[in-house]
Amino acid sequence: MKQSIEERIEQLKMKNATKKMNVFGRLLVDNREMSLWEHDTKTLSWGVRRWRRKALRFSREYIRPLAPMADLHPHDFDPKPILAAAARHGFQTLLLVPPFGTASILPYFRGTALQVAVVGEEFATECGGLALLLLAHNLGIVPLLLSGSLRNIFGQLVPFYLKSYILGKPACMAFAITEPGAGSDVEETEGGAKAILVTTAKYDPQKKGYILNGRKCFISDGAKADKVTVYAKLEDEGIESWTCFLVEKGMPGFSLGRSERKMGQRASDASELIFDNVFIPKKNVVGKVRSGWANNRNVLNYSRPVVGAMALGHARGAFERCLEFCRKSYLGPKRLIEYQDVQLELADMAISIWAARSMIWHSCKQFRCYQSGSASAKVFASDTAFKVCNQAMELMGDQGYLHKNGVERMWRDSRLTQIYEGTNQINRLALFEHQLSTDFCMATD
């Protein structure tokens, strides 16, 4: 019986072809019809998987409806409801395990940053700005945790967490290292040694605390944060004296400067913080005095994979929207997705996303994040994300640059991930610095 080409193609598809195998052979073939997302989720441990699914639901229910307007009119957007909702769902307390936080216990000790990274990808798939709004909070928290100081953890972090999760209070923290004259400097060893810093703390023996003066800029969530972890050098000393201070909203002398107008990630502010003789009580010193530089570099080790995950989310967001567009749109008699050149392009995007995800998850899968792994994951994921977003825009032709289709928003959002947490050039140097002494990937006995 002569069959049509369509019938023959149908028969050759793996799902049908395997029917001709014996039962044991069939058992060795994975024929489950499952999305890439689901496939990847199943490779995660139960606890992380749960957070991934939960974050997907949250981002679709809460972030998706707000995203376009929060991007177009960031100044009219009220962040409190979404911060409160995220807190109620436990997303703002993922850096500690129960009873103080909400992270799943076993995976936490195998990879502290993985749960935040997984959540970050899901949030960023819908909106870079809102993802940053929710995640920059963790960046403010991490210095307290990594200080290793029980005084800071139980005195400041735990009460903050309990208030956030139990009461669902939209409390928010921020992390302040960048100064107007020192951006990349404070993210790299050699630059740090030469940096000219203006934010200075002077010990006041009478008041038993520090007087903080100076400015920080580009601080994500700076205008919304209730507390900020601020790094400052001690008077007449260099960056090696950097100390982390917990500055609280309402402290006399602490004020906001200009809020930057950004190309993307607009729902989250990037603000200037001004410290004019702000008195910081001794209890608000995070960790030991002069331990700030090490603390800062370690914070970046933990945050960079998460930034990579956010970039990955932007790439996935652009890919998903582009895929949907190709399904719906016709070019001549056929839908776009039926053209092989379009399929090649989409497949290339999916491969890039998959590679970036693998690298990020790999870099997070240890208890302590390390410099070269984190920097590499951030660089690769952010470069990949920008490339994928460009591909998505190009594939959609003129429709790609219209705001209503969402892809251009992802493209704008993704560009920032190549810049913050150290530009990708600085991150490359960080990788080199860390691995040079160990001869990179050369095997040792």
Q: Which residues bind another protein (CB under 8 A)?
A: 72, 178, 181-185, 188, 190-191, 193-196, 217-218, 260-264, 270, 329-332, 336, 339, 341-342, 345, 386, 390, 393-404, 408, 411-412, 415-416, 418-420, 423-426, 428-429
Q: Give the whole-angstrom CA distance, residue 253 versus residue 403.
A: 41
C-beta closer to another protein: residue 122 or 272? 272
Q: With CA atoms as reference, report the closest residue to 267 among 217, 221, 227.
A: 221
Q: C-beta of 48: minimal distance to another protein in Å? A: 31
Q: DSSP class of residue 260?
A: P
DSSP per-residue codes, 353-378: HHHHHHHHHHHH-SSS--HHHHHHHH
Q: C-beta of 397: minimal distance to another protein in Å? A: 4
C-beta closer to another protein: residue 86 or 270? 270
Q: C-beta of 46: minimal distance to another protein in Å? A: 39
C-beta closer to another protein: residue 55 or 349? 349
C-beta closer to another protein: residue 113 or 299? 299
> Angle at Cα 245 formed by Cα 239 and Cα 261, nearest 5°?
85
Q: C-beta of 426: minimal distance to another protein in Å? A: 8
Q: Give the whole-angstrom CA distance, residue 157 versus residue 396.
A: 46
Q: Which positions ≥6 away from 338 have C-beta within 8 Å?
A: none
Q: C-beta of 398: minimal distance to another protein in Å? A: 4
Residue 47 contacts residue 115 (beta carbons within 8 Å): yes
Half-sphere exposure of 119 (CA within 13 A, CB side): 30
C-beta closer to another protein: residue 61 or 394? 394
Tell me which amino acid residue 52 is: R
C-beta closer to another protein: residue 31 or 425? 425
Q: C-beta of 441: minimal distance to another protein in Å? A: 22
Tell me which amino acid residue 207 is: K
Q: In the block, which residue shows the tokens 């934010």?
A: 199
Q: Give the whole-angstrom CA distance, residue 118 versus residue 273.
A: 30
What are φ and ψ of residue 169, in 5° steps? -80, 130
C-beta closer to another protein: residue 114 or 195? 195
Q: C-beta of 396: minimal distance to another protein in Å? A: 7
